[in-house]
Amino acid sequence: MKVTKIMTLKLLLALTIAIGFTSCSKKGSTKGGSTATGWQINDKKGGFQYNTKFKKQETPPGMTSIEGGAFTMGKVEDDVMHDWNNSPTKQHVQSFFMDETEVTNMMYAEYLFWVKSVYPPTEENYKHIYNGAIPDTLVWRNRLGYNETMTNNYLRHPAYANYPVVGVNWIQATEFCEWRTNRVNENILEKEGYLKKGNKISADVTAESNFDTESYINSPSKTFAGNEEIVLKKPMGQKSSGRRPAKGAKADGGSTEAKNVYAQRSSGIILPEYRLPTEAEWEYAALALVGNREYNIYKGQKKYPWKGQYTRSGKRQMRGDQLANFKQGKGDYGGIAGWSDDGADITNYVKAYPPNDFGLYDMAGNVAEWVQDVYRPIIDDEGNDFNYFRGNVYTKNKIGEDGTVELVTVDNIQYDTLPNGKLMARNFPGSIAQVPVDDNETYLRQNFDKSDNRNYRDGDRQSTRYFDFGSSEEEKEKANDPNKRMYKSPLHKISVDSAGNQIKQFDKADNRTTLVDDNVRVYKGGSWRDRAYWLDPASRRYFPQDMATDYIGFRCAMSKVGPKSNKKTPRGNVRG
């Protein structure tokens, strides 16, 4: 009897525990549905579609991941130039991707090939597009030097294929980044089955019919001029296979009636834009302090992208070898021929020297590099110490009369005339036309109040000695006089007469006090023409954004979305 009671009690207890576990497991359960509504996500019959299986952003072609962090920006070992523009400031940058090497001649030649194929320069409507993209090969010429070999061969000859491209101004570098964004995303969407296979190299790609990332996201039906044979629609719930399902086939093997969708940002396969790195990102990546610390304690200041205080390697296998190519002295661009030479008198092929601790090559030597920032003598760390960048010009998509985004076409494309007379397309046909943001975006905002923020807190009207806080509106307008700017750089003008001839007017005024304005950009790093002082990652110089040289190149960067680091490592001083 007692045994029966004990067994009964045990059974009741087990049943109670089982019911408790069941009720606990069902509490809040959505069975794969939304945690907000309980509705099914990614239902093949319709409803809310979202990539719930996204793991991490794929590393873009040619790039390496840079984990963000804090560092002292502008800290140089020496200031022999007395520039006073390297005031140390503590900054923090988010994680991002950066090209392992500078953009090479072969990479840029691929860009020129695409532009020439899609916008034939033989046609009057397109000639300025291609001509505006060609690097200035005349940068190699010197009044008292024979450099015609580089003038004629450096860009095109396969002997220089993997050498960094030069003769590219800041505007051209920026347009290359935009082109690269579109081509990489076009390739991804083709592999995932959203675009017709092989179309990117077919005759269907023309000035009126091509791919632009932002245009596709905002108005996919207009991409490739609305050609549904090229712009494909994938059924909801279908796994990315790179193939379009047969007509009438069931999506993912089970849908009875598939509804068609395009790829969106929520699909997780479209990469963010390629762009030039900010000055803070470039300096952080070049310094690579990640390899010069133990736990969270930095072991001394780095003078160069590599460890140590010298330009030659101290490793036994390569002791005495130069770690970069630079000008070692007057008339000495590489050293005496032989083992002590740095291996290059001009630029060198990329990856010729060891990488830094982030895996980046040529962050010193070879060519200096454009970055995004507009130059100012100081870094305004009081204004911001997170992802610092001076140069924001906020725009928005232009909306047409039909209520949809307006695309740039052959008929409405706009060209900018540079001070040197060169014409450059503002946007390629197929991209979305942009207009400055207005009161609809800035009204009652605290974080920004206008479209152009390049000279905020250093160069705007409030920064000049002519600004009077209590002045009337009429007096404020007088303060906008070009001669009362904070940075009075020369104002060269160029115009076109009725016959189409360019009239160039040089500003010969003797009251100009600086070469700085909103159109000069920072470039970083030492080049083959520079002494060792400029190899310091914190060194900074500036150059007009519409001019090019034989010693400035560039590399691309891309912001990283998601977690700061993909490594699942314990934080703190925990040893495994």
Mean pLDDT of 236-251: 47
The pLDDT assigned to 508 comes to 83
Whether 218 shows a pLDDT value over 90: the answer reads yes
> Hey, what CATH topology would domain 66-192+272-382+521-565 get?
paralog of FGE (formylglycine-generating enzyme) (3.90.1580)
Mean pLDDT of 397-417: 88
Q: How confident is the model at residue 148 (pLDDT cuts 50, 70, 90)?
A: very high
SS3 267: helix
391: CB partners within 8 A, 6+ apart: 372, 373, 374, 453, 454, 521
End-to-end CA distance of the chain: 56
Higher pLDDT, 45 or 554: 554
516: CB partners within 8 A, 6+ apart: 375, 376, 377, 487, 489, 542
Whether 481 shows a pLDDT value over 80: the answer reads no
Buried b (16+ CB within 10 A) or exposed e, 3-30: eeeeeeeeeeeeeeeeeeeeeeeeeeee
Helix-helix angle 105-118:170-191, to 10 degrees: 80
The pLDDT assigned to 570 comes to 53
Q: Within a 10 A sphere around the Cβ of 232, how many other Cβ atoms?
A: 21
SS3 177: helix
The pLDDT assigned to 309 comes to 80
The H or E element that residue 344 is part of is none
What are the start-end ranges of the E strands in 263-389?
A: 293-294, 297-298, 368-374
Q: How confident is the model at residue 241 (pLDDT cuts 50, 70, 90)?
A: very low
User: Residue 202's Cα: distance from chain center in Å?
Assistant: 28
Task: Burial-class residue 494 by CB neighbours within 10 Å (0-12, 13-18, 19+).
Answer: middle
Whether 106 shows a pLDDT value over 80: the answer reads yes
Whether 82 shows a pLDDT value over 80: the answer reads no
Mean pLDDT of 245-269: 61
Mean pLDDT of 48-54: 85
Higher pLDDT, 426 or 338: 426
Question: Side chain identity at 108, as an amino acid letter?
Answer: Y
The pLDDT assigned to 105 comes to 98
Q: How far apart are CA 502 and CA 46, in angstroms?
A: 59
The pLDDT tens digits of the residues spanning 497-523 come to 777 677 888 888 887 778 899 999 999
The pLDDT assigned to 250 comes to 45
The pLDDT assigned to 249 comes to 44
The pLDDT assigned to 374 comes to 97
Residues making up the chain, counted from first to last: 576
Q: How far apart are CA 59 and CA 65, in angstroms?
A: 7
Task: Burial-class residue 551 by CB neighbours within 10 Å (0-12, 13-18, 19+).
Answer: buried
* Weakest mean pLDDT among 267-276, 489-498, 512-521, 564-573: 564-573
Whether 126 shows a pLDDT value over 80: the answer reads yes
SS3 320: coil
Mean pLDDT of 472-490: 71
Phi, psi dihedrals of residue 340, rounded to the nearest 5° = -85, -5
The pLDDT assigned to 256 comes to 39
Average pLDDT, the chain: 85
The pLDDT assigned to 476 comes to 59
Q: Is the pTM of this model over 0.85?
A: yes
Dihedral of alpha carbons 265, 433, 114, 155, sign: negative
Whether 537 shows a pLDDT value over 70: the answer reads yes
Mean pLDDT of 222-238: 81
